[in-house]
Amino acid sequence: MFVTLYGLAHVLIWHVLTAGLGLSQPERLGLGGALAGLGLTPFLARRLDRRGFERLGRVFSWIGYTWAGLVLLFVMARLAADLVLAVSFTLAGVPPAPAARLVSLALTLGLTAVLALYAFIERSRIRVETVDIPTTKDVGPSGVLCIAQVSDVHIGSMNGRRRIETLLKRLRDHDPDVVVSTGDLIDSRAGLAVPVTEVLSALKPRLGKFAVIGNHECYAGLAPSLAFMERCGFIVLRNRAVTVPGLRIVGVDDPVAGRPGESARNEARVLRGLSDGVFTVLLKHRPEVLPGAETRFDLQLSGHTHKGQIFPFGFLTRLYYPAHAGLFRLARASYLYVSRGTGAWGPPFRLLAPPEITLFRVGPGRLDPGGQPAPVASPAPVSAEEAPASTVTAFSDRRS
């Protein structure tokens, strides 16, 4: 489906440019060849990455993924330009002028450039979101715990050492008690070769750094990804819980790491064995809540959606994950927070979905954070106490 839409977008670009510029037949053929070559570069970049050609893969990644992002922005700009011209001619009560195609092309190219510049800048500016989480549970002598979440950093050809150094500076500025990564720290095999283990391992929060695997750790190779994360100083939680002063952290694997249904069974098993009375954070890459599990934790931290990363893809990701971005209220005063992600996947653009580091200040007396009403879990005969083999829980869009 994606490849078909991506190909049709290139056909649209070819048609717009040839019609707007009045190209000759040889020029049309040349343009078609150039567009075909550019369109194939993201796929070639992935192939080079898998074959271990790191430097060449990085070059093709920047060309290919930047181009893929520009294609999307061009299509959006074209629709907007045509709409503006159609409304203008309608209001003026005159038919489209002969030069309308050229005007539309100029508007499209100008708007594409503006959107691309804005989206590139937005990607580079990591926001720090602060969320208060009230609790009656004891979180230690200070009375407040600060948990920093990063997610979907996607270390690789497009997100290298410089970006990680920027991320670490923002984290150090806020001095959290604990740092957690909720999956996709690594983007691909190329990420395993990025020289960031030394700088990441130098970050030593008071209570430690913890991580779970996402789908991209599996794509990059699970064993080398785990070794990379451990060299970076993370304790990787694979279907287990750890307790630090004032806090219990539970981590579960992404479903890609196992057989169908295995992730739900493992999560149910781990949560079933927990005692009450300790503030519990569940780290889970995908924003899915196992029915009944929300009574076994206080806060679930997830990512994966990127909030669509580039508008209007957020509408599509919301179809798969209605708990899509931000804070959601669950049962018994528990919460789900879905990060927009700290890095970017593919194109070096973010449009109306800025990257974030999220700081959670947990303790008695914290202000009510509000939060969106959680989408209602689809009915299923599953709970944290009994999880049959097959279920991956999704949310419906129905509100109670």
What span, in angstroms and rounded, lies between the C-alpha atoms of 395 and 377?
A: 5
Q: Find residue 181's DSSP bridge partners.
A: 150, 211
Question: d(Cα 263, Cα 152) in Å, to the nearest integer?
Answer: 20
Q: How far apart are CA 245 and CA 233, in angstroms?
A: 19
Write down the pLDDT at residue 376: 54
Residue in 128, 187, 178, 179 with CA at minimum distance from that of residue 160: 187
The pLDDT value recorded for residue 187 is: 94
What are the start-end ranges of the H helices in 189-335?
Answer: 197-201, 215-220, 222-231, 262-272, 313-320
Count of other CB atoms within 10 angstroms of residue 276: 8
Give pTM, 2 decimals.
Answer: 0.89
Task: Tell me the pLDDT tens digit for each residue of 275-324.
Answer: 888 999 999 999 999 988 888 999 999 999 999 999 999 998 999 999 99
**Does the pLDDT value for residue 381 go beyond 50?**
no
pLDDT grade for 378, boundaries at 50, 70 and 90? very low
pLDDT attached to residue 340: 97
Judge whether residue 385 has pLDDT over 60. Answer: no
Beta-sheet strand order (sheet of 145-150): 127-134, 356-363, 145-150, 178-182, 209-212, 235-236
pLDDT band at 396 (very low <50, low <70, confident <90, very high): very low
**Number of residues in the chain:** 400
